[in-house]
A and B are shown apart, each in its own frame.
Chain A
Amino acid sequence: DAKTTQPPSMDCAEGRAANLPCNHSTISGNEYVYWYRQIHSQGPQYIIHGLKNNETNEMASLIITEDRKSSTLILPHATLRDTAVYYCIVRLSNTGFQKLVFGTGTRLLVSP
Protein backbone atom coordinates (compact mmCIF):
# COMPACT_ATOMS: atom_id res chain seq x y z
CA ASP A 1 0.00 0.00 0.00
CA ALA A 2 2.87 2.36 -0.81
CA LYS A 3 1.59 5.75 -1.92
CA THR A 4 4.66 6.78 -3.90
CA THR A 5 6.09 6.03 -7.33
CA GLN A 6 9.82 6.08 -8.00
CA PRO A 7 11.95 5.04 -10.98
CA PRO A 8 13.53 1.64 -10.31
CA SER A 9 17.06 2.75 -11.06
CA MET A 10 19.20 5.78 -11.87
CA ASP A 11 22.84 6.41 -12.68
CA CYS A 12 24.98 9.37 -11.69
CA ALA A 13 28.59 10.34 -12.26
CA GLU A 14 30.70 10.96 -9.20
CA GLY A 15 30.83 14.65 -8.32
CA ARG A 16 27.65 15.49 -10.18
CA ALA A 17 24.29 16.22 -8.62
CA ALA A 18 21.92 13.29 -8.26
CA ASN A 19 18.25 14.24 -8.62
CA LEU A 20 15.89 11.51 -7.47
CA PRO A 21 12.20 12.05 -8.33
CA CYS A 22 9.15 10.80 -6.45
CA ASN A 23 5.49 11.03 -7.35
CA HIS A 24 2.92 11.13 -4.56
CA SER A 25 -0.19 12.37 -6.33
CA THR A 26 -2.59 11.22 -3.57
CA ILE A 27 -0.76 12.95 -0.74
CA SER A 28 -3.02 14.67 1.77
CA GLY A 29 -2.46 17.98 3.46
CA ASN A 30 -1.20 16.52 6.72
CA GLU A 31 1.27 14.02 5.24
CA TYR A 32 5.00 14.53 5.26
CA VAL A 33 7.40 13.34 2.56
CA TYR A 34 10.27 11.33 4.02
CA TRP A 35 13.42 10.06 2.34
CA TYR A 36 15.53 7.17 3.55
CA ARG A 37 18.34 5.30 1.89
CA GLN A 38 19.67 1.81 2.38
CA ILE A 39 23.18 0.81 1.55
CA HIS A 40 23.51 -2.89 0.81
CA SER A 41 22.44 -5.07 3.77
CA GLN A 42 22.48 -2.17 6.25
CA GLY A 43 19.56 -0.57 8.06
CA PRO A 44 17.78 2.30 6.31
CA GLN A 45 19.32 5.69 6.98
CA TYR A 46 17.11 8.74 7.49
CA ILE A 47 17.98 11.54 5.06
CA ILE A 48 15.42 14.32 5.22
CA HIS A 49 11.71 15.07 5.43
CA GLY A 50 9.39 17.95 4.61
CA LEU A 51 5.76 19.02 4.55
CA LYS A 52 5.42 21.78 1.97
CA ASN A 53 8.53 23.92 2.02
CA ASN A 54 11.87 22.99 0.53
CA GLU A 55 14.28 21.59 3.07
CA THR A 56 18.05 21.28 3.21
CA ASN A 57 20.40 19.58 5.61
CA GLU A 58 23.99 18.38 5.56
CA MET A 59 23.09 15.34 3.48
CA ALA A 60 20.65 16.55 0.86
CA SER A 61 17.98 18.97 -0.31
CA LEU A 62 14.30 18.19 -0.72
CA ILE A 63 12.28 20.09 -3.27
CA ILE A 64 8.49 19.68 -3.02
CA THR A 65 6.28 21.03 -5.82
CA GLU A 66 3.71 23.64 -4.95
CA ASP A 67 0.82 21.19 -5.41
CA ARG A 68 2.78 18.67 -3.30
CA LYS A 69 2.13 15.88 -5.78
CA SER A 70 5.80 15.24 -6.42
CA SER A 71 9.20 15.88 -4.92
CA THR A 72 12.88 15.60 -5.75
CA LEU A 73 15.72 14.58 -3.50
CA ILE A 74 18.97 16.25 -4.50
CA LEU A 75 22.41 14.99 -3.53
CA PRO A 76 24.49 17.99 -4.65
CA HIS A 77 27.84 16.24 -5.18
CA ALA A 78 27.33 12.50 -5.37
CA THR A 79 30.12 10.22 -4.18
CA LEU A 80 30.62 6.48 -4.60
CA ARG A 81 29.35 6.05 -1.02
CA ASP A 82 25.97 7.43 -2.09
CA THR A 83 25.31 4.25 -4.08
CA ALA A 84 22.20 2.85 -2.36
CA VAL A 85 18.47 2.25 -2.65
CA TYR A 86 16.56 5.46 -1.97
CA TYR A 87 13.04 5.27 -0.56
CA CYS A 88 10.46 8.05 -0.74
CA ILE A 89 7.69 7.63 1.84
CA VAL A 90 4.63 9.68 2.74
CA ARG A 91 3.21 9.49 6.22
CA LEU A 92 0.93 11.43 8.50
CA SER A 93 2.47 14.29 10.39
CA ASN A 94 0.63 13.75 13.64
CA THR A 95 2.30 12.05 16.52
CA GLY A 96 0.20 8.92 16.58
CA PHE A 97 2.51 5.97 16.02
CA GLN A 98 2.73 6.16 12.29
CA LYS A 99 4.37 3.21 10.54
CA LEU A 100 6.60 3.63 7.51
CA VAL A 101 5.32 2.02 4.31
CA PHE A 102 8.24 1.30 2.02
CA GLY A 103 7.89 0.82 -1.72
CA THR A 104 10.57 -0.62 -3.96
CA GLY A 105 12.65 2.57 -4.06
CA THR A 106 15.18 3.83 -6.59
CA ARG A 107 18.52 2.06 -6.89
CA LEU A 108 21.10 4.81 -7.43
CA LEU A 109 24.45 3.81 -8.87
CA VAL A 110 27.21 6.40 -8.63
CA SER A 111 30.08 5.68 -10.99
CA PRO A 112 33.60 7.13 -11.20
Chain B
Amino acid sequence: DAGVTQSPTHLIKTRGQQVTLRCSPKSGHDTVSWYQQALGQGPQFIFQYYEEEERQRGNFPDRFSGHQFPNYSSELNVNALLLGDSALYLCASSLAGTVGDTQYFGPGTRLTVL
Protein backbone atom coordinates (compact mmCIF):
# COMPACT_ATOMS: atom_id res chain seq x y z
CA ASP B 1 0.00 0.00 0.00
CA ALA B 2 1.79 3.11 -1.26
CA GLY B 3 1.88 5.97 1.21
CA VAL B 4 1.97 9.66 0.45
CA THR B 5 4.98 10.63 -1.63
CA GLN B 6 6.45 14.08 -2.24
CA SER B 7 9.09 15.43 -4.58
CA PRO B 8 11.65 16.77 -4.49
CA THR B 9 13.03 16.03 -1.02
CA HIS B 10 15.07 19.20 -0.85
CA LEU B 11 15.13 22.35 -2.93
CA ILE B 12 17.19 25.53 -2.89
CA LYS B 13 15.91 28.66 -4.61
CA THR B 14 16.73 32.35 -4.58
CA ARG B 15 14.44 35.24 -3.75
CA GLY B 16 12.00 36.13 -6.52
CA GLN B 17 12.08 32.72 -8.14
CA GLN B 18 9.14 30.37 -8.52
CA VAL B 19 8.90 26.80 -7.23
CA THR B 20 6.64 23.79 -7.84
CA LEU B 21 6.29 20.99 -5.33
CA ARG B 22 4.57 17.70 -6.07
CA CYS B 23 2.52 15.23 -4.08
CA SER B 24 1.04 11.81 -4.81
CA PRO B 25 -1.68 10.78 -2.35
CA LYS B 26 -1.94 7.49 -0.53
CA SER B 27 -3.54 4.77 -2.64
CA GLY B 28 -7.33 5.13 -2.56
CA HIS B 29 -7.34 8.73 -1.34
CA ASP B 30 -8.89 11.58 -3.30
CA THR B 31 -8.24 14.69 -1.21
CA VAL B 32 -4.93 16.50 -0.81
CA SER B 33 -4.05 19.14 1.77
CA TRP B 34 -0.89 21.23 1.91
CA TYR B 35 0.80 22.56 5.03
CA GLN B 36 3.80 24.79 5.67
CA GLN B 37 6.01 24.18 8.69
CA ALA B 38 8.53 26.82 9.65
CA LEU B 39 11.43 25.82 11.85
CA GLY B 40 10.30 25.22 15.43
CA GLN B 41 6.62 25.68 14.62
CA GLY B 42 3.70 23.34 14.06
CA PRO B 43 2.41 22.86 10.51
CA GLN B 44 0.14 25.60 9.17
CA PHE B 45 -2.68 24.80 6.73
CA ILE B 46 -2.27 26.30 3.25
CA PHE B 47 -5.15 24.80 1.22
CA GLN B 48 -7.01 21.64 0.35
CA TYR B 49 -7.99 20.14 -3.01
CA TYR B 50 -10.80 17.78 -3.89
CA GLU B 51 -12.21 16.99 -7.31
CA GLU B 52 -9.57 19.26 -8.83
CA GLU B 53 -10.90 22.30 -6.98
CA GLU B 54 -9.60 24.26 -4.02
CA ARG B 55 -12.09 23.57 -1.24
CA GLN B 56 -10.59 25.45 1.67
CA ARG B 57 -7.75 27.90 2.10
CA GLY B 58 -5.72 29.06 5.06
CA ASN B 59 -4.25 32.50 5.64
CA PHE B 60 -1.68 32.46 2.84
CA PRO B 61 -1.19 35.05 0.06
CA ASP B 62 -2.10 34.49 -3.56
CA ARG B 63 1.55 33.76 -4.29
CA PHE B 64 0.65 30.28 -3.08
CA SER B 65 -1.42 28.37 -5.58
CA GLY B 66 -2.15 24.78 -6.30
CA HIS B 67 -3.58 22.26 -8.65
CA GLN B 68 -5.03 18.78 -8.46
CA PHE B 69 -4.91 16.40 -11.38
CA PRO B 70 -7.48 13.76 -12.42
CA ASN B 71 -5.30 11.05 -10.82
CA TYR B 72 -5.63 12.97 -7.50
CA SER B 73 -1.98 14.03 -7.40
CA SER B 74 -1.33 17.66 -6.60
CA GLU B 75 1.12 20.49 -7.06
CA LEU B 76 1.90 23.46 -4.86
CA ASN B 77 3.27 26.53 -6.62
CA VAL B 78 4.88 29.48 -4.89
CA ASN B 79 5.70 32.61 -6.90
CA ALA B 80 8.03 35.49 -6.07
CA LEU B 81 9.77 33.58 -3.31
CA LEU B 82 10.64 35.38 -0.09
CA LEU B 83 13.22 34.40 2.51
CA GLY B 84 10.31 33.71 4.85
CA ASP B 85 9.01 30.98 2.54
CA SER B 86 11.86 28.75 3.68
CA ALA B 87 10.10 25.86 5.41
CA LEU B 88 9.15 22.21 5.28
CA TYR B 89 6.18 21.80 2.96
CA LEU B 90 3.93 18.89 3.84
CA CYS B 91 1.29 17.17 1.80
CA ALA B 92 -1.45 15.12 3.45
CA SER B 93 -4.04 12.93 1.78
CA SER B 94 -7.42 11.65 2.90
CA LEU B 95 -10.56 10.06 1.56
CA ALA B 96 -13.56 12.35 1.35
CA GLY B 97 -16.86 11.03 2.59
CA THR B 98 -15.41 9.03 5.46
CA VAL B 99 -16.27 10.06 8.99
CA GLY B 100 -13.22 11.65 10.56
CA ASP B 101 -11.38 11.44 7.18
CA THR B 102 -7.96 10.95 8.74
CA GLN B 103 -5.16 12.79 6.97
CA TYR B 104 -1.91 10.95 6.30
CA PHE B 105 1.24 12.96 5.70
CA GLY B 106 4.11 12.58 3.31
CA PRO B 107 7.77 13.09 4.26
CA GLY B 108 7.76 16.71 3.13
CA THR B 109 9.85 18.92 0.86
CA ARG B 110 12.45 21.12 2.53
CA LEU B 111 12.56 24.47 0.69
CA THR B 112 15.42 26.86 1.33
CA VAL B 113 15.21 30.38 -0.12
CA LEU B 114 18.49 32.29 -0.29
Contact = CB atoms under 8 A, between A and B. Distances in A.
Q: Report if A and B associate in a common complex.
A: yes
Contact of A102 (B4, B43, B107): B43
Contacts, number: 63
Interface string B43-63: 111001010000110100000
Interface string A97-112: 1111111110000000
A46 B55 contact: no
B25 interface: no
Interface size on B, as a range, is: 20 to 34
The size bracket of the interface on A is 20 to 34
A87 B100 CA distance: 17
Contacts of A95: 96-99, 101
Interface of A: 2, 32, 34, 36, 41-46, 49, 87, 93-95, 97-105
Interface of B: 4, 31, 33, 35, 41-45, 48, 50, 55-56, 58, 88, 90, 92, 96-108, 110
